[in-house]
Structure 1
Amino acid sequence: MATPTALPPLPFNPARVRSYVLRIPLFTRLVLLAILVFWLLELQTVWSVVQWGALTPDEIGLGTMYRLNTYPFIHSGFFHAFLNVLALTPLLERFEAEHGTLTAVALFIGPLSTFPAGLYLLFEKVLLHRNTAVVGASVWVFLLLGSEAIRTFKSNPYFSLGSLKIPTWTSPLIASVLVSILMSNTSFLGHLCAIAVGYLLGLGYLKLFVPPEKILRWIEGKLNLLGRLPHYVSVDQKTYGRYGVLPTTNNSSGERPTPMSNYLGANQRLGP
């Protein structure tokens, strides 16, 4: 009787993956769920979710301002959504763990969606006179990479590439260039707008848009959010300081997630 051949070990530890998934905080879970729901809705052929919610310059008006918030949740296919989720999840859950759930909601439903969208509309329609629609959560991927790059630059100003010393704050810009070269039809302009807002976040210029901690505590206590909502991160449970952008480690290699992009008809995807 032949001896059964032992299966090769898995490249990852399932127990650690399960533990990581179980501790993903509430807002990050809701964002991932929204991405999944919009992708499932796009499978039907009666109504195009991409056309409805994409950031399309010529379609922006008083009745369609919702597009400033819907475009990060919408993707143009399974792999677009899947790769965006892989890149976004660790960045977003760390941000929420650091700042709290209410702060994450206030920022990502507010300025961290609308400011990159506004910059994109300004350059795309007003200055370039084009009408390329964009979708995808990589707007948040590059934004968070930008903010983390600023934080890293303060403690580790350079990373080495052979004999070159490159400022760490340029790492998201390098990533966006590489993505544009390696992946066809990438929204390079959309990524640059996201990085610019990420730099502002990292430098602390967006603190103005964060509700005061006193108000957040009052809302949490009044609604008993910590007791009612599983995986909710209270303003008093944050892992890190209130306005530190993202936790970083001393990494001289400038390592970062790699987003990607593509077209769907006239709609240009943002990110992975």
Structure 2
Amino acid sequence: MAFAAPNLNPARLRSYVLRLPLCTRIILFIIVALYLASIPWTDLRQKCALIPDQVSLATGYRLNTFSFTHLGLFHLLINLLAITPLLERFESEHGTLVSFSLFSGPFATLPGVMYLLIERGIFRGNTPVQGASVWVFLLLAVEAVKTHRVNPYLSIGPYKVPTWTTPLFPILITSFLIPNTSLIGHLCGAAIGYLWGLNYIKFLAPPEKILRWLESKLNLLGKLPHYVSVDKSTFGRYGVLPSTTPLQNIPMGSTQRLGP
């Protein structure tokens, strides 16, 4: 699977961070903000975590909040490094409004509900889960399905491994090597990613016609820096990007690339 990962060169890394699209920025900001807030308010993580026997109509918000909170700094940093390029790629492909609606809604609640059904309904357990890794494996599954359509097999010596299975290997590895990781939670995230990649749950995304009308009515592409339009054919799909280059200094008819 190929996805854009930030270069370790400091200048390129800074440029990469400054070019992150809007929804990706918002999600990363919320994750970091909740971690910082959990330092003085230590019970915040407990209130946001998905704890099976504490989910009710009054605490259904846990299905949306568990992906944003983390157990500690190491847990936070690993997930931030993993999710940033995947989330940025997804938003660049689908647009800011679609990404925001999915990650604030079904991409959070569906893995959570699936986890509750398996953990409580089958194993009768009550293991709490939290962390953006559920989204990491969801997005890896989406990428794996896309890659499988182009390159169905990955050759490893004499063996041919179906490319759609590649997210399953890091899921198994992390469950064995990293303590306090949830194999079931990660598999639930990957399952939703496979369903999206195979177009079974694409109906969960808001209708593109409505999103285009909303973008045009509110002029979101012109007003919001780093906004990504849902319309791939729209010129300037990536919104207003900050620039220090005066317009008159750009040679007319040059081959300089002006967009991402």
After TM superposition, is the score higher than 0.5?
yes
State percent identity of aligned pairs: 57
Q: 1:168 to 1:64 in 2, by over 3 A?
A: same
SS of equivalent residue, structure 1 residue 39? helix
* 1:163 counterpart (158, 166, 186): 158
Query: What residue is the counterpart of 1:259 in the other structure?
Result: none
Q: Does 1:121 align with 2:116?
A: yes
Q: Is the 8 A contact 1:146 1:169 kept in 2?
A: yes
Q: Is the 8 A contact 1:88 1:140 kept in 2?
A: yes
Which of structures 1 and 2 has the larger relative contact order (alpha carbons within 8 angstroms, sep 6+)? 1
Specify every segment of 5 or more residues in structure 1 that has no aligned partner in the other structure, as ranges: 1-10, 240-272
Query: What residue is the counterpart of 1:34 in the other structure?
Result: 30
Report deviation, 1:137. 0.2
* 2:72 counterpart (62, 73, 77): 77
Q: 1:73 to 1:147 in 2, by over 3 A?
A: same
Report deviation, 1:12. 3.2
- Give me the whole-angstrom Cα distance separating, in 2, the residues matched to 1:235 and 1:12: 30
Q: 1:238 to 1:124 in 2, by over 3 A?
A: farther
Q: Does 1:58 align with 2:57?
A: no
- Give me the whole-angstrom Cα distance separating, in 2, the residues matched to 1:178 and 1:75: 20
Query: What residue is the counterpart of 1:190 in the other structure?
Result: 185
Q: Which amino acid aligns with 1:228?
A: K
Under a length normalisation based on structure 2, what TM-score does the superposition of the two structures give?
0.84
Query: What residue is the counterpart of 1:24 in the other structure?
Result: 20
Q: Greater shift after overlay, 25-34 or 220-229?
A: 220-229
SS of equivalent residue, structure 2 residue 137? helix
* 2:206 counterpart (206, 211, 220): 211
CA RMSD across the alignment: 1.5
Q: Does 1:104 align with 2:99?
A: yes
Under a length normalisation based on structure 1, what TM-score does the superposition of the two structures give?
0.81
Report deviation, 1:18. 1.4
Report deviation, 1:191. 0.6
Specify every segment of 5 or more residues in structure 2 that has no aligned partner in the other structure, as ranges: 1-6, 235-260
Report deviation, 1:69. 0.6
SS of equivalent residue, structure 1 residue 214? helix
Aligned residues: 228
- Give me the whole-angstrom Cα distance separating, in 1, the residues matched to 2:34 and 2:177: 27
- Give me the whole-angstrom Cα distance separating, in 2, the residues matched to 1:110 and 1:186: 23
Report deviation, 1:162. 2.1
* 1:12 counterpart (8, 11, 17): 8
Counterparts of residues 38-49 of structure 1 (less than 5 Å): 38-45=34-41, 47-49=42-44
Q: Is the 8 A contact 1:99 1:238 kept in 2?
A: no
Report deviation, 1:210. 1.1
Report deviation, 1:237. 4.6
Query: What residue is the counterpart of 1:233 in the other structure?
Result: 228
